[in-house]
Amino acid sequence: MSSTDDNSPIDAITAPEDDVIIPYLAHEKADFSKYGGKYDIHHFYIRCSDIATENPIQFPLDANPRHPRENTQVAAMRDTLQENPKDFVNRNNGIVVLVSEVNKESAPESEPAEGQAVFEYGEGEGVCNGGHTLLAIQEYGEDPTAVVHIEVIELGDVEAKSTSRRKEISDIADARNNNNQLQERSEANFLGYYDQYKDHLKEKTVVDWHEGDPNAIGDALNAYQFFRLLKSLDIDDFGHPIYDDRGKNHQSLATSVSAVHRRWKESMDEWKQDDGDAKNRPLRHLTPLANDVIYIREMVSHNLMHFDYDAGLRRKGVFQKYFKSNPRRLFVNEFDHSEGYNLPNPVEVLFTGLFRTNLYLSESDTDSAELIGWFRDPRELWANRSAAILNEMNGDFKDNDKDPKDFIRASAPFTHDFYLHGMSNKVEESPEVVYEVYNGGGEETSNRYVRAHDQNEATHELIIKKAPEEPDRLVEKEGSIGLC
């Protein structure tokens, strides 16, 4: 979760490779092991000016899932630092830092301090609470009379497994931030649960992954909403006429912001506890669709505003009272216009899930499926089906008294699929786009294949079994699908 992006207001983000030496004015150590405590806790008092200088003491933020930004809290600390610097230590809770080891040594005669502390940082360690205090001091703490309290938790060798250690750090950080409860997305990001999706995205900055994300663009998609969009394509929970014809529609996703994410995170916690075998990772089969989820969201926004519908359709109630909205800038530069509707989050979830029946899987068991893709290009489906779907939705809107809240809570709008299968529960045709979930060596990939117009140019052949429980195979030889 570490970052070195220039947009961050904090100077030190990632733990430095070398030990950090800190001149301190006073120090106390509490050996809580005699009372059953897990860790030694140190209390240091240091000059704020040692943090605010041109070569400041390095306090990494790897242990803080929430990156600090300028806010009213920082402004209040600025006023104290500038107007009453001697009172700062009394008015501020200080900074809590997690380190692997603390050592002390004598301060050199040239250093006006009681001594020097040597902090040894490990992976994921650093400031776990007090990031806004650190920001305020770095920006406004030049006065040498201002002092800050640094509480240091000495972790030592918490656990042999790095996953257990990172979870321990996350739990401490979450508890220490109890005055402003840590958002679940920040913890998920800190634990690396979004990493596979980030690795697949062409532009990671279009998603605001955690609180204070310094890399996210100004109007970035919230991580909860990104996950809801991705989850709307999950045939394990929601229906598909071939792979799960008994599944329900995705209406629950539109009306619940965090419940599904919470269940997914709990399953990720359990997966991590079981050593995190890549092939068992929850929702790993949807990972290659990360870019497509962003694209579909942008396409819906653009086309609802600009697609060539007749004027009568755009005058219908569902358009005028729910879909039509102020414009927003699009993330994707592949459309005729740079702006689209700033749609409500539930509407984005509604439309994205209507593409679920268009999903192709190499087999119905998502735990072992090695290929995923689209039967038809989503752009083609929109061109051919969107007018009919919008007319059907307008009927649903009328049935719910033209009330947007009742409309989005109803089941009917979530049943108008973009891709219509025949009466058979077999794969009737080959997909146009295929992604490898795993390559032949068992590693996750982002390889994308499209159906070749000329079989002589094809690099691979997709061997399709009619029964969805039998796995299809993608083989390297002349065939009907090409690598792009």
Closest by CA to 141, choosing from 54, 69, 66, is 54
Q: E strands, 375-469, where?
A: 433-436, 448-451, 461-463
Instruction: Quote the pLDDT of residue 2.
Output: 28
Phi-psi domain of 126 (left: phi exceeds 0; alpha: psi -120 through 50; beta: other): left
Phi-psi domain of 443 (left: phi exceeds 0; alpha: psi -120 through 50; beta: other): beta
* Cα 350–chain centre separation: 20
> What distance in Å separates the CA atoms of residue 451 and residue 402, rounded to the nearest whole number?
43
- Do the beta carbons of residue 46 and residue 23 sit within 8 Å? yes
Beta pairing class for 126-129 and 95-99: antiparallel
> What distance in Å separates the CA atoms of residue 355 and residue 428, rounded to the nearest whole number?
17
Amino acid (one-letter) located at 446: S
- The CB density around residue 149, as the number of other CB atoms within 10 Å, is 19
Structure-block tokens of residue 113: 């301090």
Instruction: Quote the pLDDT of residue 63.
Output: 65
- Do the beta carbons of residue 419 and residue 358 sit within 8 Å? yes
> What distance in Å separates the CA atoms of residue 268 and residue 265, rounded to the nearest whole number?
5
- Do the beta carbons of residue 138 and residue 52 sit within 8 Å? yes
Radius of gyration of the chain (CA): 27
Phi-psi domain of 334 (left: phi exceeds 0; alpha: psi -120 through 50; beta: other): alpha
> What distance in Å separates the CA atoms of residue 155 and residue 142, rounded to the nearest whole number?
31
192-210 burial string, b = 16+ CB within 10 Å, else e? bbbebbeebbeebbbbbbb
Q: Is 109 helix (H, G, I), strand (E, B) or coil?
A: coil
Structure-block tokens of residue 256: 């619940």
> What distance in Å separates the CA atoms of residue 259 and residue 255, rounded to the nearest whole number?
10
85-117 burial string, b = 16+ CB within 10 Å, else e? beebbeebebbbbbbbebeeeebeeeeebbbbb
Q: E strands, 145-186, where?
A: 147-154
Instruction: Quote the pLDDT of residue 82.
Output: 92
Instruction: Quote the pLDDT of residue 100.
Output: 87
> What distance in Å separates the CA atoms of residue 269 and residue 191, rounded to the nearest whole number?
9
Amino acid (one-letter) located at 109: E
> What distance in Å separates the CA atoms of residue 13 and residue 49, rounded to the nearest whole number?
19
> What distance in Å separates the CA atoms of residue 310 and residue 387, rounded to the nearest whole number?
9
> What distance in Å separates the CA atoms of residue 321 and residue 303, rounded to the nearest whole number?
17
Which residues, given as ranges, of the chain have pLDDT below 70?
1-18, 31-37, 53-56, 62-66, 109-110, 157-164, 177-182, 275-276, 423-425, 439-443, 477-484
Non-local CB neighbours of 472 within 8 Å, separated by 6+ positions? 362, 363, 371, 462, 463, 464, 465
Instruction: Quote the pLDDT of residue 337.
Output: 96
pTM: 0.69
Q: Is 86 helix (H, G, I), strand (E, B) or coil?
A: helix
